[in-house]
Amino acid sequence: MSDEMSPFANFLGQRREDITAEWLRRVRRDRKIPSAADLPKEELLDHLPYLLDTLIKQLRGILVDGVGQSHGAVRWKQHYCLDEVLREISILRKVLIEELFRFYGDTRAELKLQVQASDILHACLDLIISSSTAGFVARQYEKIQAANRSLEELNLRVQTTNDQLLEKDRQRLLMLRTITHEIANHLNAIGMRVSVLKKDRDSIDSCTESLSKSVTAMTALVKQLLEFATLDAERPRLERCKADSLFQEPAAFGRELAEQKGLAFVGHLDPSLGEIVTDRHQLHRVCLNLLTNAVKYTATGEVIFTFWAEPEGNWRIEVTDTGCGIAPEEHEQIFNEFYRASTCRETESGVGLGLAITRRLVRLLGGRIELDSMLGAGSTFRVVLPRNGPATND
């Protein structure tokens, strides 16, 4: 049959330019193929020579693999929709059928040959349609898969955000419970002392001392809450300070606090430290928070407070105690708002804001805070800061 179809195949080969020009004219005029209007002639014709070669080979009995795949691949890259691709092929089919009638009408060939040529032509174009459609479906499937992956990632982010919001709500509820508990304890203590005063005027001295402690504790609690609430709005006020002037005041505070509790206190300033650019007030708060905690959670032993020079333009503060220590699994959580270490929840009062405030202050100063601790062996809090102050975004 290939010999019988060769004359028609040769005819199409000779008419290639006319077929191409006619197909191009019709595609350009077709309003249902808007994507074609935006393409240069070379890109629009890019696939057509291959399709004509494929058809001519089929007429000559030469099998061709992947018919129509390159056509679909080219058009999908050019952002065609499936209807446009199918309409292009339909126009090509009409042009080729007209060529078939022209050839067999001029040669007066047998009807059987016309039918055979028509069958080959339709089969080839149907295969192109099938391949192009399969390519379109595969491409859409890839897009759907990509969209599904994006949705899964989005859902995961939403779930993570929801979990974070739930955790924040949980922390706020815990904060309210803790604050309510702390204030209630102090108010109960005040109420009890007032009741004692009403019954026994001789107890005025001891009651006054107890009342003073409760009021002081409540004042400190409110002050800490206000400090936490306004911390994000603060910006460091940097100045050049001598290390000695930054060290002496918190060292004196820590020594007095430790001695009141019967603890030894060791203070050391690295003599090579020199001058530091920092916010004096914020740094003072960091030192006092760490020293207060060290003394508070140490029953016996000592507290060590030191300033050290560090390489690469840094310096560090260390506060070491011989207290109860913190479990390894709590080393990260201990810096979270309203979290209190399991070793001190029952023995000491507090709302769990001190270290959260300290970490925020350290970050404002451009540094980081680290913890080394073992249960029953004490803790070391280490603050590493830049000597020339925090980096600015100017």
pLDDT tens digits, 204-263: 666 666 666 666 666 666 666 666 656 655 677 889 999 999 999 999 999 999 999 999
| pLDDT value of residue 67 | 54
**Is the pLDDT at 394 greater than 50, yes or no?**
no
Average pLDDT over residues 175-185: 63
| pLDDT value of residue 159 | 87
- Residue 96: both structure tokens together: 């080729």
Give dist(CA 70, CA 13) in Å, integer: 20
Tell me the pLDDT tens digit for each residue of 127-144: 878 877 877 787 778 888
What pTM does this model have? 0.50
Band (390; pLDDT cuts 50, 70, 90):
confident
**Is the pLDDT at 175 greater than 60, yes or no?**
yes
| pLDDT value of residue 38 | 80
Per-residue 3-state assignment (H helix, E strand, C coil) for the chain = CHHHHHHHHHHHHHCHHHHHHHHHHHHHHCCCCHHHHCCCHHHHCCCHHHHHHHHHHHHCCCCCCCCCHHHHHHHHHCCCCHHHHHHHHHHHHHHHHHHHHHHHHHHCCCHHHHHHHHHHHHHHHHHHHHHHHHHHHHHHHHHHHHHHHHHHHHHHHHHHHHHHHHHHHHHHHHHHHHHHHHHHHHHHHHHHHHHHHHHCHHHHHHHHHHHHHHHHHHHHHHHHHHHHHHHHHCCCCCEEEEHHHHHHHHHHHHHHHHHHCCCEEEEEECCCCCEEEECHHHHHHHHHHHHHHHHHCCCCCEEEEEEEECCCCEEEEEEEECCCCCCHHHCCHHHCCCCCCCCCCCCCCCCCCHHHHHHHHHHHCCCEEEEEEECCCEEEEEEEEECCCCCCCC
| pLDDT value of residue 366 | 92
Average pLDDT over residues 114-125: 85
% of residues, the chain, pLDDT over 70: 75
| pLDDT value of residue 204 | 65
Could you tell me if 281 and 345 are in contact, meaning their C-beta atoms sit under 8 angstroms apart?
A: no
**Is the pLDDT at 66 greater than 60, yes or no?**
no
Strand partners, 206: none
Strand partners, 276: 241
| pLDDT value of residue 170 | 73
**Is the pLDDT at 1 greater than 60, yes or no?**
no
Give dist(CA 341, CA 296) in Å, integer: 13
- For the chain, the average pLDDT equals 81
